[in-house]
Structure 1
Amino acid sequence: MPARTHTSGATLSTSPSLSISGLDFTWPDGSPVFDALDAVFPTGATGLVGSNGTGKSTLLKLVVGELTPTRGSITIPGTLGYLPQDVALRPGRRVDEVLRLREIRESLHRIESGDSTESDFATVGTQWDVEERAVALLDRLGLGHLVAVPADLDRVLGTLSGGESMLLALTAELLAEPDVLLLDEPTNNLDLHARARLYEAIGAFRGVLIVTSHDRELLDAMDTIAELRAHRDGPTRLRMFGGNYTHYRAVVDAEQEAARAAVNDAKNDVRKQERELVETRTKIDRRIRYGQKMYEQKRAPKILMGKRKRAAQVSAGKLRNTHLEKVDDAHDVLAAAEERLRDDREIRVALPATKVHAGQAVAHVGDLEIVGPERIALIGPNGSGKTTLLDTIDASGPAVPWRYLPQRLDVFDESRTVAENVADVAETASNEQIRAQLARFLFRGSDADAVVSTLSGGERLRAALARILLAEPAPRLLMLDEPTNNLDLVSKAHLTEALSSYEGALVVVSHDLPFLRELHPTRWIEL
């Protein structure tokens, strides 16, 4: 039976760790994710990395208890905090609700007004300064403009940006002071200043910290890297690397260089053994023909000829079997060498003809006019109105076919499959054409039949990109709001390469400056 246990603070060692033992998990459709997974996450910061879909978010949900393993145990040293990848904040919720402070604030206010009960004092406990601590922490994380005084904790969240929502949710976890903190893509949608503040907050955390991220700078601040990797025809495995992401890449790159050399050597040995097998068979055939000829010409007594024939057959069989074994052994060595080679899947995007001519009107909203194949990088701090501007352009109806990838990726019918969602916007494409194109976005075979609601964050982004880039008519204006969120580093590089060859107009909101620079913007607009 699966088990999740929490060790009380009183029994913790000086260096507690989160441990996973014999963990099995399979999706309801029978797709296996983990098989007898073992891991120990020590005190300090661990970056959990791996290609999209390898199970990073799934593992965190198993630790938190949102998913139940088929078998195995998870031991958590003390209290647990969790920041999910998609922080869904209802517009009507108050700040103190998100911070999980509403009940204690109401008790505080009743005590201050003289209308309290015994339960109010029990609720407050020793946290008489909880409002001041919340305001101070929000200010340290760059949300002082939202909550400057305790009374501001009453405000609602409808006007918050995605980055502000993420920082607010992180504040809630830090205020709880957990022993173990899990963060799933915490820098998504954060501007550069907010990222710096988040790095500082993470650096100050003293418990067991596990972070899934594709943010290279954040991963370089980790003490340990844990890599989840799906193996050929086998379960996903987890491997720990001491040091940060740069060290991890250096180790992996060195291993891959050695693996490629081993594969080349093994291939050469296979060719050699197969060639020697052919030569041996040729020699054996010659001997057999010579023996048959001698037998037919009766150049020796019949009984002696029969013995020689049988001896030759036995000898030929042994020789043939010896070389067959050598060929089999060479193939086994090659297979083992190829297993060490990484088969990291990469997005391969071929954009349709989307050319916009110089001087062609594309869109006009207020003071912003987009003309010709412009490449506009839209930057600015969280809450400055970048997403609002894209929404306005989208609502205005540009002068050319366009597609918009919103930050929240709400472009799907969640109850339908990836292939069906793409078919909705590519009406003339055949099922075979749609599936061939989806394979370029790593939805191969039955992956294209996955229901959208079951996809991970990275898979959702790939599906959303496929839906807008395969749409008909081909989009001549692309508006992308944080398109690299949740993409692994290899896929991000291929998306950059694809967008670099795009001949239409492009408006991109991103806090990822290296990504923006590689798109070679013709105009930078800062809000």
Structure 2
Amino acid sequence: MANTINPHPTTPTGSGAAVTCSGLSFQWPDGTPVFDGLSLTLGRGRTGLVGANGTGKSTLLRLLAGRLRPSGGSVTVSGSLAYLPQNITLDTALRVDQALGIAERRAALRALDTGDASEEHFEAIGDDWDVEERALATLGSLGLGGVELDRTVGRMSGGETVLLRLAALLLERPDVLLLDEPTNNLDLFARRRLHEAVASWRSGALVVVSHDRELLERVDRIAELRSGSVTWYGGGWSAYEEAVAAQQETAGRMLRAAEADVRRQKRELEETRIKLDRRERHSKKMDDRRRAPRIVAGERKRSAQESADKLRGLHEDRLHAARERRAEAAEAIRDDAEIRVSLPRTAVPTGRTVLHLHELRPRFGALREGNLHVHGPERIALVGRNGAGKTTLLRTLTGELAPLSGEARTYVPLRFLPQRLDVLDEELGVAANVARTAPGLTGNDIRAQLARFLFKGARADQPAGTLSGGERFRAALAATMLATPSPQLLILDEPTNNLDAASLRQLTSALGSYRGALLIASHDLGFLGSVGITRWLLLGEELQETTAGEVRDLLEAPEGG
């Protein structure tokens, strides 16, 4: 059946269609379907595209941008389109003006300033005589005011390169701008600048795929992609959450009413069956007493049977209809199951030494001399600007990288969940992946624990390579937390990247069951606050103990501010 847009009063109307999908279908080369007849209109203004992991948000953006070819239907774009993908790689040897796409126009302006009035320079410039001023203003609006146009990209941090690529797209003045998870891995200052860029967008249609709630508060409308169709909600993230909560409350009432109706129809059907059986026995007894002729008795029996069949059929139809209404009501209930796992073997006594750093200097990053002592079940947040070296420090602590000097020693079993989630064998099922890290557990034990990570029955055998983003995260988390020996120090690197709201709640509930020490590198202060952080470490030239409030103030300020 074709998936079409669900009408809603807040569907963009009257603002002019910027992007139109008509009967859009797409499937992966292995035959896995993503969309089947999706029809969708995106108007001017700012649209936040949300949905559970694996619903096809990034795939839809790639189809709109022409990076993927649909298997059916069409995409129509009014005007020019620019696209910012999730993973950005820029040549580190490029100059900033080359990355911005203005190097040729700058060179032509320089040539004209020196008196070279060749026609080719005028053609290169066109009407864009203020390109340098526009470029510097755009960089400044994104917090890159100190970046010279002649600087090389290799001298910029990862977060700065994301903002640089966004600046290049903004300079194109596109009619349609598509952003896919633009705040992933950005520090708070870079996130704030990107938030402001989205909030100030006025020139056409902007579509942003994101799990960043603060960013989604700045859009005009939310488009939720679910089960291959789109539902519209007016306003930003808070308005969307309120609307969904109201819908779920209504859906819950309808489901309870439908379940009560099913029970009532079952009871009435059973009562009807009992009544008909009694009537049939009574009729047979009366015929025997009257010694009615066989033909008369047979006619009475057929008539009674027909009446009974009609009555029974009526009640069976009512029960069937009640079950259908119950199924429809159940479909409207969202699956927000939480991970509930017991991990008592991960507990660490309060006085136990867990991790010790002495004059540690990693191979990369800002840290010149790190000293740290971790004991007991502490929960430590590691924060810092992009390029400060958080991932490098974590990989040094786990032994993946050797330090330039100093030492890092762990005194308890340690497990590391990296950003890339590359702890899984793509060819193996979820249970088999957990068995690799937990050789001491029986198959039954593994499956019992995986059920608590929401992999029940046959889903525990699903190959890791076929999992959606959220499922893959849960599988990697299970393989990490269920490992033997039980990890008493758990290190997580940007664990909330790409997680939808349900997956984020699942991660939070799983960490609530964990009894060991936690070290988490993250830019998501809301998430860090939800997992009971006990110490905040700001990574710079040294490891500086601070507070959550100081962290926000420091990281939202411009570099050197």
Q: TM-score, normalised by structure 1?
A: 0.85
Amino acid of the structure 1 residue aligned with 2:219: M
Amino acid of the structure 2 residue aligned with 1:50: G
The residue that corresponds to 1:318 in the other structure is 310
Residue pair 2:95, 2:149 contacting (<8 A) in 1 also: no
User: Which whole-Å deviations, capped at 9, do the CAs of 1:124-181 have from their partners, x for residues lacking one?
Assistant: 4344543443333223222345x1x3222x3425x623x3332222222222221111
| In 2, Cα distance between equivalents of 1:309 and 1:299 | 14
Structure 1 residue aligned with 2:181, among 178, 182, 185? 185
Amino acid of the structure 2 residue aligned with 1:401: P
User: Which whole-Å deviations, capped at 9, do the CAs of 1:22-81 have from their partners, x for residues lacking one?
Assistant: 111122222221111111111111111111111111111111122221111111111111
Amino acid of the structure 2 residue aligned with 1:245: W
- Cα deviation, residue 414, structure 1: 6.3
- Cα deviation, residue 440, structure 1: 4.8
User: Which whole-Å deviations, capped at 9, do the CAs of 1:210-236 have from their partners, x for residues lacking one?
Assistant: 111122222121111101112xxxxx2
Classify the secondary structure of the residue corresponding to 1:17.
strand
- Cα deviation, residue 436, structure 1: 5.7
Asked if 1:376 is matched to 2:380, the reply is yes
Structure 1 residue aligned with 2:520, among 508, 513, 526? 508
Residue pair 2:340, 2:509 contacting (<8 A) in 1 also: no
Change (3 A) 1:397 1:448: farther
- Cα deviation, residue 109, structure 1: 5.9
User: Which whole-Å deviations, capped at 9, do the CAs of 1:458-512 have from their partners, x for residues lacking one?
Assistant: 5554444334223333222122222112111122122122213322111112222
Structure 2 residue aligned with 1:309, among 287, 297, 301? 301
The residue that corresponds to 1:472 in the other structure is 484
1:280-359 alignment, distance < 5 Å: 280-344=272-336, 346-351=338-343, 353-359=345-351
Change (3 A) 1:449 1:319: closer
The residue that corresponds to 1:61 in the other structure is 62
| In 2, Cα distance between equivalents of 1:112 and 1:435 | 73
| In 1, Cα distance between equivalents of 2:222 and 2:254 | 26
The residue that corresponds to 1:493 in the other structure is 505
Structure 2 residue aligned with 1:275, among 267, 271, 284? 267
| In 1, Cα distance between equivalents of 2:115 and 2:470 | 52
Change (3 A) 1:103 1:431: farther
Classify the secondary structure of the residue corresponding to 2:507.
helix
Residue pair 1:347, 1:440 contacting (<8 A) in 2 also: yes
1:419-434 alignment, distance < 5 Å: 422-429=434-441
| In 2, Cα distance between equivalents of 1:141 and 1:400 | 43
Residue pair 1:405, 1:480 contacting (<8 A) in 2 also: yes
- Cα deviation, residue 280, structure 1: 1.3
The residue that corresponds to 2:257 in the other structure is 265
Residue pair 1:407, 1:481 contacting (<8 A) in 2 also: yes
Residue pair 1:85, 1:457 contacting (<8 A) in 2 also: no
Gaps of 5+ in 2: 1-13, 360-370, 400-407, 540-561
- Cα deviation, residue 400, structure 1: 2.2
* Identical pairs, percent: 53
- Cα deviation, residue 424, structure 1: 4.1
User: Which whole-Å deviations, capped at 9, do the CAs of 1:268-299 have from their partners, x for residues lacking one?
Assistant: 12111211111111121122222222333443
The residue that corresponds to 1:4 in the other structure is none
| In 2, Cα distance between equivalents of 1:501 and 1:142 | 40
| In 2, Cα distance between equivalents of 1:107 and 1:473 | 65
What RMSD in Å do the two structures reach over aligned CA positions?
3.1
Change (3 A) 1:181 1:502: same
The residue that corresponds to 2:223 in the other structure is 226
Residue pair 1:461, 1:486 contacting (<8 A) in 2 also: no
Residue pair 2:431, 2:460 contacting (<8 A) in 1 also: no
| In 2, Cα distance between equivalents of 1:94 and 1:470 | 47
**Which has the larger displacement, 364-373 or 110-119?**
110-119
Question: Number of aligned pairs?
Answer: 504
Classify the secondary structure of the residue corresponding to 1:226.
strand
The residue that corresponds to 1:524 in the other structure is 536
Asked if 1:243 is matched to 2:243, the reply is no
Change (3 A) 1:343 1:414: closer
Residue pair 2:96, 2:150 contacting (<8 A) in 1 also: no
Structure 2 residue aligned with 1:160, among 152, 157, 160? 157
Classify the secondary structure of the residue corresponding to 2:29.
coil
Classify the secondary structure of the residue corresponding to 1:22.
strand
User: Which whole-Å deviations, capped at 9, do the CAs of 1:381-436 have from their partners, x for residues lacking one?
Assistant: 33334334323323345232222233444555667776665554334456666566
